[in-house]
Amino acid sequence: MIFCDMGVNPTEWAYCAYDDVITKLVKAGIPRHEIASIGDADTDAKKRVLFEKVRNGQIRVLIGGTTKMGTGTNVQKRLIALHHLDAPWKPAEVEQREGRILRQGNGNEEVQIFRYVTEGSFDSYMWQTLETKARFINQIISGKSGIRQADDIGSQELSFAEVKAIASGNPAVLVLAETDAEIQRLSILRKNHHDEQFIIRRRLKDLPDDIKRMHKRGEGLKTDIATLKAHPDHAVTLGGRTLSSDEAVIALSDRLDTLPLSVSESRHIDLGTYRGLKFGVVLHPLSHPDLYLQGDAVRHADIRRDARGLAVLNALNRLARGYEEAAESTRQELALARSQLRDFQTRQGAAFIHESYLKELSGLREQLRIALSGIEAKEGESAADIAGRINSLRSRNSVEPAPEREAKPIAAEEPVTTRIRRRAEEKASADSKGEAEANHAGQWQRKLAEDTRAIAERVREPG
């Protein structure tokens, strides 16, 4: 495939780039009927026929522009080479062109891509424009300035810069382009280093308080776990009375009915104790209330505003069962925070290790730029000499991505989907159990009502 967006139609002096290329290919030995121009297929039906001939090998050379031979052109089966006769206007168009041959379904293990430039022509400006656009677009898309993203961007940018340098006809221009890319990479690394130091200073300020808070919570959870173990399951105390499960359901429902329907600000309301720990609700102005279970530490659970006693009791049971998990999670967070504190203390105030290299390279780059402009940077030193010094400097300095720091192994967090599934199963089990308890409570309430009526009838009897 040959891509050329310019010279499609003949000029006033009857020159057409397409005709010129086709004529030269025929002179080189390719039969004319094996060469086709995409412009010959002016309908979708003709394009389908043409593309099929390319796929089966009847057409060996296809020439056209980016628009007509871009998206939807599936002729990659036998393609072995792609040629850019000119530079398109957008980096995406370069990718679109090369996507015709670098495509699944191509039977060739290796293919070739050629870019042609004319020394001293407008080609240099076109490739320079592509280089600038590619850098800008990829910076916006990536949203980050990390070294890995910079490396990914640089591969395409450097390719455009190389073509620009080749078009200039001066090898020192290529060195200048490579130096610009290296300085950009070093500048990104230095910016990342400064950002990292800022984060370290901020975290070193916050981590000690976080560690104290997590340590206090961990100790509180341990104490609360011991309190829960020391008290029997479902032991609820309301108004100084220890109630059974059935009695607690009724008493909690009555207590919830006395709470206000709306509040102007968040309000804590103590209800009683559950297995030795205080519990209550937090009413919010614009959201559902929270149920809390509090000892030395406090844990919360969401409940509906119209929740009854059974729902509150089930939520308390779930909170109690989750104390061991909460204590382990807090222990992991504390271990991670302590590890981060040690790591940050070691790295605080570290200097950028490539600072001297960046400074020296920037100075040589400026000298090379001045030399290429026609003014000698130093007496007797040419652009070629400066380019040699730059190559020597770069060979002595290897810039590698920072190695990943090893951290102490920490138990993996439970996946979100697993956690959701587990909670759904627990809720289904609790609802099933709650339904059974509700039936039992209903039977108990009916029996209580019958006994009350019987007592009332006996009281009304004479004597």
pLDDT at 194 over 50: yes
pLDDT at 148: 45
Decide if 91 is inside a domain: yes
pLDDT at 408 over 60: no
Token pair belonging to 225: 């776990």
Decide if 63 is inside a domain: yes
Q: What is the CATH number of the domain that holds 89?
A: 3.40.50.300
Average pLDDT of 11-36? 92
Residue 434, domain extent: 415-463
Q: Which residue has the tokens 């009724």?
A: 250
pLDDT at 404 over 50: no
Average pLDDT of 216-234? 89
Q: For the chain, how many structural domains are there in total?
A: 2
Decide if 165 is inside a domain: no
Angstrom distances, CA of residue 244 to CA of 64, 104, 210, 236: 86, 70, 40, 7
* This prediction's pTM: 0.50
Which string of b and e fits 409-442 if b means at least 16 CB within 10 Å? Answer: eeeeeeeeeeeeeeeeeeeeebeeebeebbeebe
pLDDT at 173 over 70: yes
Decide if 346 is inside a domain: no
Lowest mean pLDDT among 151-155, 226-230, 306-310: 151-155
Over residues 324-378, the pLDDT tens digits come to 999 999 999 999 999 999 999 999 999 999 999 999 999 998 888 888 766 554 4
Give the start-end residues of each E strand in 235-296.
Answer: 236-238, 241-243, 267-274, 277-283, 290-294
Decide if 309 is inside a domain: no
pLDDT at 152: 43
Q: Tell me which of 95, 115, 135 is where a domain ends.
A: 115
Q: DSSP character for 285? A: S
DSSP codes, 39-73: GG--SHHHHHHHHHHHHHTS--EEEE-TTTTSTT-
Question: What is the side-by-side order of every strand in the sheet holding 81-84?
Answer: 35-37, 61-64, 2-3, 81-84, 112-115
Query: 127 near 167, Cβ under 8 Å?
Result: yes
Over residues 410-429, the pLDDT tens digits come to 444 555 566 666 666 766 66
Q: d(Cα 222, Cα 200) in Å, to the nearest integer?
A: 31
Decide if 226 is inside a domain: no
pLDDT at 259: 85
Q: What is the CA radius of gyration of the chain?
A: 39
Token pair belonging to 271: 């209800």
Q: Tell me which of 67, 92, 115 is where a domain ends.
A: 115
Query: 228 near 320, Cβ under 8 Å?
Result: yes
Give the best-scoring range by mean pLDDT among 243-252, 300-309, 353-362.
353-362
pLDDT averaged over every residue in the chain:
81
pLDDT at 182: 87
Decide if 441 is inside a domain: yes
Over residues 28-81, the pLDDT tens digits come to 999 999 999 998 888 889 999 999 999 999 999 999 999 888 877 889 999 999
pLDDT at 161: 59
Decide if 66 is inside a domain: yes
Token pair belonging to 199: 């984060």
Compare 81 and 244 and report the one with higher pLDDT: 81
pLDDT at 149 over 50: no
pLDDT at 285: 87
Q: Tell me which of 49, 84, 115 is where a domain ends.
A: 115
Specify the amino acid at residue 128: Q
Query: 269 near 284, Cβ under 8 Å?
Result: no
What are all long-range contacts of 171-176, with beta carbons under 8 Å and residues at least 24 apart? 171/384, 171/387, 172/368, 172/371, 172/372, 172/383, 172/384, 172/386, 172/387, 173/372, 175/368, 175/387, 175/390, 175/391, 176/365, 176/368, 176/369, 176/372, 176/387
Q: DSSP character for 449? A: H
Query: 16 near 10, Cβ under 8 Å?
Result: yes
